[in-house]
Amino acid sequence: MDAVSTTALTKRYPHHELPPERLARRLRGEPRNDVLALEDLSIAVREGEIFGFLGPNGAGKSTTIRLLLGFLHPSSGGGQVMGLDIVRDSVAIRARVGYLPGGIALYDTLSGERLLDYLGELTGRPSVRRAELLDRLELSTRTLQRPVRDYSRGMRQKIGIIQALQHDPELAILDEPTEGLDPLMQRAFYAILDDLKAAGRTIFFSSHVLSEVERVCDRVAIVRRGRLVALQDVASLLEHRKRNVELRAAPGEAIHLDGVAGVSGVKQAADGRITCQLEGDVGPFLAAIAGHRISDLTIEPAHLEEAFLELYQDAEPGDPAAGVSAAGASPAGVTSR
């Protein structure tokens, strides 16, 4: 069973217009000009994986999360979370999910401890992970006694993470979870995610920090203008990306890389420095440089950022379908599973 699955999930918002505008449009016989926030989203998140959900602001990430949790009602299509219908069983879904909203708002007058107690009691499940999370995120008992209004942004985010995970949910939906955390705490948070994954929990991770998605996620879905652009393993997404190569040949060495499989954009400088892009199998490239005297060689790993930008540049701005068809036409594009 998938932890999350959606089928042609679509959300339209009515376009806000003043009554005279609405009347004029009706008199002209024009249809409603709805805003399409999410269109035909079909994804499946496997149990026990860390699933990255990527896209810039306004791409439809939060809309998807809010549909999964029952805050929004789908215009068409549907979905299931833990085998439960997102429309009919939304209360039962929320009993099994931990949710960290993006830019979380907390009750400022409560102390951190009282807030966590309150939210834990509302969940109706014991807060079995709280002590461990407090320890790993370095929130002391003394800090928890202070009112939330005195907390820094990072401390608020830590409280947000703890309230989402303290009851050890089967599925954690985390929207921009490292926002406001310092690098040390980000590392501690990634370790927490690793442990949750090891314990068989599923993480739905929405972010636009590509480096962290690349670091923690097993698979990613990329959305653009409310439509799915790609859904793939992070590893296979990176496999097809070009790596930047820079090598420096010893004086008098002539290395010819033109025509070598997977190598492109070869540039040779007068000082013996050669730069190129390398895609796919590194074997032909290594064979081509073997036997030559090389004083320095750097192969930069492919980053998700390049894959992300490439997918976004495939489409003409203002044409939502273009991005989908470009990716969908490619074998490396949209794959439902």
Return residues touching another protein (CB under 8 A). Answer: 13, 62-63, 66, 69, 71-73, 90-92, 94-95, 97, 99, 101-107, 109, 118-119, 121-124, 163
CB of 315 to another protein, least distance (A): 25
Give the residue with the Cβ less far from another protein, 154 or 262.
154
Give the residue with the Cβ less far from another protein, 91 or 269.
91
Phi and psi at residue 82, to the nearest 5°? 55, 35
C-alpha 282/C-alpha 83 separation (Å) is: 43
CB of 172 to another protein, least distance (A): 11
Give the residue with the Cβ less far from another protein, 69 or 282.
69
Phi and psi at residue 92, to the nearest 5°? -65, -35
The label of the residue with tokens 């820094």 reads 152
Give the residue with the Cβ less far from another protein, 94 or 129.
94
CB of 189 to another protein, least distance (A): 19
Strand order in the sheet with 243-249: 263-268, 273-278, 243-249, 294-299
Decide: residue 154, CB within 10 A, 0-12 exposed, 13-18 middle, 19+ buried: middle
Beta strands at 35-41 and 294-299: parallel, antiparallel or unpaired? unpaired
Give the residue with the Cβ less far from another protein, 103 or 317.
103
Distances from the Cα of 175 to the Cα of 11, 65, 179, 224, 322, angstroms: 19, 8, 9, 17, 27
CB of 105 to another protein, least distance (A): 3
CB 249 within 8 A of CB 274: yes
CB of 101 to another protein, least distance (A): 5
Give the residue with the Cβ less far from another protein, 106 or 322.
106
Kind plus residue range of the DSSP H or E element containing 315: none
CB of 99 to another protein, least distance (A): 4
CB of 18 to another protein, least distance (A): 16
Decide: residue 334, CB within 10 A, 0-12 exposed, 13-18 middle, 19+ buried: buried
Give the residue with the Cβ less far from another protein, 174 or 260.
174
